[in-house]
């Protein structure tokens, strides 16, 4: 049971972290929650050192850093964690509120109206990139030379 919950939480936290702030905040305000929450840890900016692998597959090396914002809050006895890319206190707060709601009876409401919509938009963006890239894929044509022309004529 616990692992099933962790698996779902991993997914929604991952979707929230990379979401577009404008979309997240408008979807969240549409739900008109009157949140009474308490800060456990107020939002703060931080960096994460990103690792790469030598040759893509070998030993690790330190590649470079990214900015993130994190916070923790308590909402209706649920601990909400906000870990988001970039430097937006408000985005981290909304992500943490969503995380808390998703542990409550609001699960379906938030899942359907926020998480799934964010995921849909993200998937559409990825599909567009893939389609555009595929449209730049090179088709090679072998050109006829005098020799291949002669060979064809002989047949």
Partner 1 sequence: MYVAVKGGEKAIKNAHDWLAQIRRGNTKISEIKINQLSEQLTLSVDRIISEGSLFDRELAALALKQSRGDLIEAIFLIRTFRTTLPRLATSKPINTSKMICKRRISATFKDIPGGQNLGPTFDYTHRLLDGLKGPKNLVIDTERDRAEDLDMPKILDLLNKEGLIEDQIDTLEEPIDITRSSIQYPTTRAARLQALSRADEGFLLGLAYSTQRGYGGTHAFIGELRIGLVAVNMEIPELEITITVAEIEVTECETINQFTGSKKELAKFTRGYGLVMGQCERKAISMALVDRALRWKELGESYQNVPTQNEEFVISHCDNIQSTGFVEHIKLPHYVDFQSELELVRKIRSQQMKD
Nearest-approach distance from CB 93 to partner 1, in angstroms:
16
Tokens of 97: 């509120």
Q: Which is nearer to partner 1, 130 or 149 (CB)?
A: 130
For partner 1, the closer CB: 20 or 30: 20
Select 30 or 65, whichever has its Cβ closest to partner 1: 65
Three-state SS string across 69-104, please? EEEEEEECCEEEEEEEECCCHHHHHHHHHHHHHCCC
Residues that bind partner 1 (CB under 8 A): 6, 9-10, 13-14, 17-18, 44-68, 70, 81, 83-87, 126-127, 129-138, 140
Least distance CB 154 / partner 1 (angstroms):
27
Q: Cβ closer to partner 1: 42 or 50?
A: 50
**Least distance CB 96 / partner 1 (angstroms):** 12
Say if residue 131 is exposed, middle or buried (CB neighbours under 10 Å; 0-12, 13-18, 19+): exposed
Q: List Cβ neighbours of 111 (8 Å cut-off, separation of 6 or more).
A: 12, 102
* Rounded-to-integer distance, Cα 21 and Cα 69, Å: 12
What whole-number distance in Å separates Cα of residue 141 and Cα of residue 39? 63
CB of 36 to partner 1, least distance (A): 23
């Amino acid at each position: 049971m616990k692992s099933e919950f962790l698996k779902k939480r991993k997914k929604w936290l991952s979707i929230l972290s990379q979401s577009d702030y404008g979309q997240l905040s408008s979807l969240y305000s549409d739900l008109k929650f009157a949140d009474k929450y308490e800060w456990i840890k107020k939002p703060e900016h931080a960096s994460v050192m990103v690792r790469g692998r030598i040759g893509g597959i070998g030993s690790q090396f330190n590649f470079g850093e990214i900015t993130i914002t994190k916070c923790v809050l308590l909402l209706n006895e649920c601990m909400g964690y906000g870990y988001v890319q970039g430097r937006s206190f408000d985005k981290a707060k909304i992500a943490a509120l969503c995380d808390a709601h998703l542990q409550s009876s609001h699960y379906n409401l938030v899942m359907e109206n926020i998480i799934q919509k964010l995921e849909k938009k993200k998937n559409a963006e990825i599909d567009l990139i893939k389609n555009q890239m595929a449209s730049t894929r090179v088709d090679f044509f072998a050109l006829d030379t005098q020799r291949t022309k002669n060979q064809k004529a002989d047949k």
